[in-house]
């Protein structure tokens, strides 16, 4: 990496016919071979950082002029040249030269210098590629975290809206994927809301972690030039500057924070998609996916497959791999900069691209799926899910819970053998198991009342869920103000 000290003019090349050397090549007689250049280059993937690089360079040049380190005329030329380059990259007319441009930073500086002359060569004054690279990644991760927050907010809004829309719909709740107790569909949807609400907080934390400016750290030890680091940070919208130059160039915790936020978000998306795949199957029949979020079969004309839900579930492994990748890069790295850190960008890019695409897909799926309320209610009578309430009824009559549990277990076993539901039993049939049963036992196993009786805070009863929806709306308002 070029350091702040490497400012002396390079000697002319001894072989005028030799291939062009990179901007750091003054110290070297020969450039790396073509294969090594390709191996060492990051331009193919870090081109996407061009906006961050241009913004950082413009802020740096303006600060250099304000401090009297370069002339205002040079700063104006640099800004105009960078704007021209940015316009060409945006339009797709900028020509990168992979044989010379190791990365996006060198590509922009090379072309800038070719176009505006000596002023372009002064841009790197007081700056190393180490802090330049760190700055660009800080800016990118801060922006990616903001995009993640927006996408999570959209999904959270959709989940709460669907919970409000289907308030009162009863469905089976499961443990071990076996029918357990009836719950409200709204309660089930809100369980995912709270997961993604926590993910929003993690994305916000990643945003805050990236919100510090390392520019001015130079190669690792700072610089002798009288830089105004606070001015540069303010120009780029940072809330603070990094306090230690060595940590400033080598810290990638903020990138880990972002990938971690992406990873857990993707895991939660995978859990939700697993349920959508199950719920849309013929065996469950709880929901039907919108045509725009489904695909068909090349041979079976009747098929309607939840392919996008499956794809989100499948992509989770790659995001988890991105987290392992960046942690492995960092785990043995001594201070300060090592070329290893070039490998930090692809995991960040892959993780954020994958999770943003997945969030978009899942928000659409949840927002457009058709809920089969009748089938959900029908399934709530399957699996003897009122059994706990029947046992609790006996407890209310004074029977110890373990005895009540055993009695109801025998009732369920007999119902399974006879092929009847608990709700089909008569009072006389119940009293044959225990004299403590009376007419009130039939109310105890009514599905709607089973749900409604769960009134504790955070439970699935109607009143508790209405309270939860109100709290979710308040949480959404807080997210919007973050």
- Joined together, the tokens standing for residue 137 give 């990644």
DSSP 92-152: T-----TTT-SSHHHHHHHHHHHHHTHHHHTTTTT--HHHHHHHHHHHHHHHHHHHHHHHH
- Cis peptide leading into residue 412 (ω within 30°): no
Q: How many domains does the chain have?
A: 3
For the chain, give percent helix, strand, coil, nearest 5: 65, 5, 35
Residues 472 and 359 placed together within one structural domain of the fold? no
Q: Which residue has the tokens 């790295």?
A: 333
- Residue 160 CA from chain centroid, whole number: 19
Q: Is 22 part of any domain?
A: no
Residue 78 domain-assigned (yes or no): yes
Domain contains 436: yes
Whichever domain contains 392, its CATH number is: 1.10.40.30
Q: In this structure, are 355 and 410 located in the same domain?
A: no
- Please tell me whether residues 119 and 149 are part of one structural domain: no
* Of 357, 379, 401, the domain-final residue: 379
Work out the widest C-alpha separation in the chain, in whole angstroms: 107
- Say if residue 362 is in the same domain as residue 413: no
In this prediction, residue 29 carries a pLDDT of 62
Domain extent, residue 417, equals: 387-480
Together in a domain, 430 and 326: no
Give the residue from 58, 92, 125 where a domain finishes. 125
pLDDT in tens, the chain (482 residues): 333 333 333 333 333 334 455 555 566 666 666 677 677 788 889 999 999 999 999 999 999 999 999 999 999 999 999 999 999 999 999 988 887 888 999 999 999 999 999 999 999 999 999 999 999 999 999 999 999 999 999 999 999 999 999 999 999 999 999 999 999 999 999 999 999 999 999 999 999 999 999 999 999 999 999 999 999 999 999 999 999 999 999 999 999 999 999 999 999 999 999 999 999 999 999 999 998 988 887 788 777 888 999 999 999 999 999 999 999 999 999 999 999 999 999 999 999 999 999 999 999 999 999 999 999 999 999 999 999 999 999 999 999 999 999 999 999 999 999 999 999 999 999 999 999 999 999 999 999 999 999 999 999 999 999 999 999 999 999 887 76
Q: Annotated catalytic residue: which of 99, 239, 297, 432?
A: 297
Decide if 4 is inside a domain: no
The beta strands (E) that lie in 236-376 are given as: 287-288, 370-371
Q: What is the pLDDT of residue 20?
A: 54
pLDDT for the residue 8: 35
288 and 204, same structural domain?
Answer: yes
Question: Which pLDDT score, from 0 to 100, does residue 24 have?
Answer: 55
Boundary (domain end) residue, out of 344, 359, 379:
379
**Which of the residues 33, 176, 298, 477 is marked catalytic?**
176
* Domain match, 392 and 405 both: yes
- Asked whether residue 156 falls in the same domain as residue 280, the answer is yes
Q: Is 23 among the domain residues?
A: no
Are residues 121 and 139 both part of a single domain? no
467 within domain boundaries: yes
**Other beta carbons within 10 Å of 403:** 13
174, 253 Cβ separation under 8 angstroms: no
User: Any catalytic annotation for residue 293?
Assistant: no
By the 8 A CB rule, do 277 and 269 touch? no
121 and 141, same domain (yes or no): no
| Within-domain flag for 204 | yes
Task: Confirm whether 89 is domain-assigned.
Answer: yes
Considering the domain architecture, whether residues 250 and 319 belong to the same structural domain is answered as: yes
Indicate the pTM of the whole model: 0.89
pLDDT of residue 265: 98
432 labelled catalytic = no
Reported for 181-184, long-range contacts at CB under 8 A and 24+ positions apart, including other chains, are: 181/385, 181/388, 181/450, 182/380, 182/385, 182/386, 182/447, 182/450, 182/451, 182/460, 183/451, 183/460, 184/451, 184/460, 184/462, 184/465
Whether residues 286 and 429 fall in one domain: no
Whichever domain contains 99, its CATH number is 1.10.275.10
CATH code of 157's domain: 1.20.200.10
Give the torsion sign (CA, 463, 468, 474, 477): negative
């Amino acid at each position: 990496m070029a350091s702040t000290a490497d400012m002396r003019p390079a000697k002319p090349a001894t072989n005028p016919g030799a291939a062009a050397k990179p901007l750091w090549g003054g110290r070297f007689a020969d450039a790396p071979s073509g294969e090594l250049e390709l191996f060492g280059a990051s331009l193919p993937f870090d081109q996407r950082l061009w906006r961050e690089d241009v913004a950082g360079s413009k802020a740096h040049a303006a600060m250099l002029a304000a401090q009297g380190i370069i002339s205002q005329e040079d700063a104006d030329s640099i800004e105009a040249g960078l704007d021209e380059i940015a316009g060409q990259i945006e339009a797709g007319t900028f020509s990168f030269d992979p044989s010379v441009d190791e990365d996006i930073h060198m590509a922009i500086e090379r072309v800038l210098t070719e176009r505006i002359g000596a002023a372009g060569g002064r841009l790197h004054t007081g700056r190393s590629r180490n802090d330049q690279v760190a700055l660009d990644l800080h800016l990118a991760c801060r922006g990616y975290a903001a995009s993640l927050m927006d996408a999570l907010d959209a999904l959270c809004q959709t989940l709460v809206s669907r919970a409000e829309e289907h308030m009162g719909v009863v469905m089976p709740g499961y443990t071990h994927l076996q029918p357990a107790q009836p719950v409200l569909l709204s309660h089930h949807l809100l369980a995912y809301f709270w997961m993604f609400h926590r993910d929003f907080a993690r994305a916000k934390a990643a945003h805050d972690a990236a919100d510090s400016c390392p520019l001015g750290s130079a190669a690792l030890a700072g610089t002798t030039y009288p830089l105004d680091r606070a001015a540069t940070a303010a120009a780029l919208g940072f809330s603070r500057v990094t306090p230690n130059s060595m940590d400033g160039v080598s810290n990638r915790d903020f990138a880990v924070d972002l990938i971690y936020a992406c990873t857990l978000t993707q895991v939660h998306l995978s859990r939700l998609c697993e349920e959508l795949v199950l719920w849309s199957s013929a065996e469950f029949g709880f929901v039907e996916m919108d045509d725009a979020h489904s695909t068909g079969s090349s041979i079976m004309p009747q098929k309607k497959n939840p392919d996008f839900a499956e794809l989100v579930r499948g992509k989770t492994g790659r995001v988890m791999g991105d987290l392992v990748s960046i942690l492995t890069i960092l785990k043995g790295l001594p201070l300060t900069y090592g070329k290893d850190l070039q490998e930090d960008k692809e995991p960040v890019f892959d993780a954020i691209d994958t999770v943003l695409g997945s969030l978009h897909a899942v928000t659409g799926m949840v927002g457009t799926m058709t809920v089969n309320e009748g089938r959900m209610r029908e399934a709530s009578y399957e699996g003897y899910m009122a059994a706990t309430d029947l046992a609790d009824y006996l407890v209310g009559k004074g029977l110890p819970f373990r005895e009540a549990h055993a009695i109801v277990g025998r009732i369920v076993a007999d119902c399974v053998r006879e092929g009847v539901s608990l709700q089909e039993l008569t009072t006389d049939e119940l009293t044959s198991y225990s004299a403590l049963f009376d007419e009130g036992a039939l109310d105890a196993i009514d599905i709607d009342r089973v749900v409604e009786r769960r009134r504790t805070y955070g439970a699935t009863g109607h009143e508790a869920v209405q309270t939860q929806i109100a709290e979710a709306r308040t949480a959404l308002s807080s997210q919007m103000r973050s």
